[in-house]
Structure 1
Amino acid sequence: MDRIVLVTGGSSGLGKAVAARFRADGDTVFVTGRDAGRLGRAAAEIDARPIACDATDPGQVARLADELGPDLDVLVNMAGRNTDLDDDSPAEGLEGVLAAWRANLDANLLSAVLTTTAVRGKLRPGGTIVNVGSIGAEYASSSYGAAKAALAAWTAGLSSEVGPKGVTANLISPGYIADTDFFHGKLSEQRREALIDATHNGRAGRPADIADTTFFLASAGARHITGQTLHVNGGAHTTR
């Protein structure tokens, strides 16, 4: 079956890896990103269909929904980042705190809420929503962690809303993943080693780990998995 798949934030890193995994299976894959040039190059490389869109902008998200067409089978909300790493000189005082928290909530929570709200009516029975959180949600001492924790809570509630239509909704929570630009070059070697040492299997995660888990959640074998957070971190955070 040729599924229709939408991956937000698909122009690089994990989003691009996820999009490529579905495309390798023959699915029709749409990818979004804020930078139209970079998005177009990535889409051409993996044979996906690009739609430039800032997932925090309601108008752009509405246009994205219009361009997709009437049907959708898989939605992967990958768009997001730690906006604290964007600015080396954040504003000071309470106004700075407010701006920093709003930026991360917009990028990591509201982007997924807006996109899902805009396209969920297109999801066919048997469809799948996959949101992407972070191991940082387990500590949530920062605006990024808190935003990802809120995303996980929202995903659990979303599952009950889309379930009657035969659609699943889950969240993948990655740990440290190498070969991405998440840290913008600001990850020290000492910190990188500490993140790997925290795992049980002694290695960093790879984009393929997230891509394959996402692909599984959209498969027939995962139809009874919904409302869950799946931790993909090599044991750096465990549940019971």
Structure 2
Amino acid sequence: MGRRIVVSGGGTGIGLATAESFAADGDRVVILGRRAEVLRAAADKVNAAHGADLVTWTSADLSDPGQTRRAVEFIAADGPVDVVVTNAGGNVAPGNDGTLEGIADQFQRNFTANVLTAVLLTEGLLPHLTRPGGRIVHLSSVASLRGPGSYGGTKAHLHVYTYDLAKRLGAEGVTVNAVAPGYVQDTEFFGERGTPEFIAQQIGQTLTGQPGHPAEIAAAIRYLASPEGAYVTGQVLHINGGAQFGR
């Protein structure tokens, strides 16, 4: 029987591609997110593709300690966890009204969506993580190097958390890394901001002239989570086509 994998934000985009990648290897995957209907559809899609009930799901707002605790209890009821991928989040507050109150709200909302969702899930699952051999992979962003500040700063915070966890858990045989993608198409990340002009600008910042794809990010996550990745820890892997500041 394969390993047990947990992927937050697993209903769409990079999270779904990651769940699909692990399921293709016969691993059992639990996907998490806030939208039950999206998670159900994602699980059904992957399970139908592989002819097995490899993917289960539970909905939770992972910035809320109580909901995260319930999600952890749901996961732990089936035994230990081998891999945790924290993918939930996004630039949930791309703008503000210019007031100090609006700026504070913008920064707080992005911190809640990107830092707390990763930290609470990870800390909740630590007692259930396989030792040795456990793997933790956080999803960062090229924005951690170049902003925008309210979002990019939260992703940079995950780098510090990654380094701290790697030091805490290294002696126990657990690795902790982060993956920082650049522009990746076929995700919900940019929403209405993803106009053709905006997308062309993002792709134009790369050296390859090509966008990233969810499956490419999933492949990097799968490597870091693999037995072959045992000697890689405390690292941030930038995957952005050589975009400025991310080379």
What TM-score, normalized by structure 2, do the two folds share?
0.92
Partner of 2:125: 119
Deviation at 1:91, TM superposition (A): 5.1
Cα distance in 2, alignment partners of residues 140 and 239 from structure 1: 12
SS of the equivalent of 1:126 reads: coil
Deviation at 1:188, TM superposition (A): 2.8
Aligned length: 237
Aligned match for 2:88, one of 72, 76, 79? 79
Deviations 1:111-156 (A, max 9, x none): 1010011001111110100000000010234200110011111111
Deviations 1:175-225 (A, max 9, x none): 000111111031232222222122122200000111100011111211100
Q: CA RMSD in A?
A: 1.5
Deviation at 1:49, TM superposition (A): 0.2
C-alpha distance 211-116 of structure 1, shift in aligned 2 (>3 A): same
Partner of 1:215: 222
Q: Which runs of 5+ in 1 are unaligned?
A: none
Deviation at 1:42, TM superposition (A): 1.1
Deviation at 1:24, TM superposition (A): 0.7
Partner of 1:186: 193
Task: Provide the identity percentage.
Answer: 39
Partner of 1:203: 210
Cα distance in 2, alignment partners of residues 217 and 65 from structure 1: 23
Cα distance in 2, alignment partners of residues 107 and 203 from structure 1: 28
What TM-score, normalized by structure 1, do the two folds share?
0.94
Q: Which runs of 5+ in 2 are unaligned?
A: 48-54
Cα distance in 2, alignment partners of residues 35 and 178 from structure 1: 21
SS of the equivalent of 2:82 reads: strand
Q: Is 1:29 aligned to 2:35, yes or no?
A: no
| Contact kept? 1:6, 1:29, Cα under 8 Å | yes
SS of the equivalent of 1:81 reads: coil
179-188 or 14-23, which deviates more: 179-188
Alignment of structure 1 residues 32-71 onto 2, 5 Å: 32-47=32-47, 48-69=55-76, 70-71=79-80
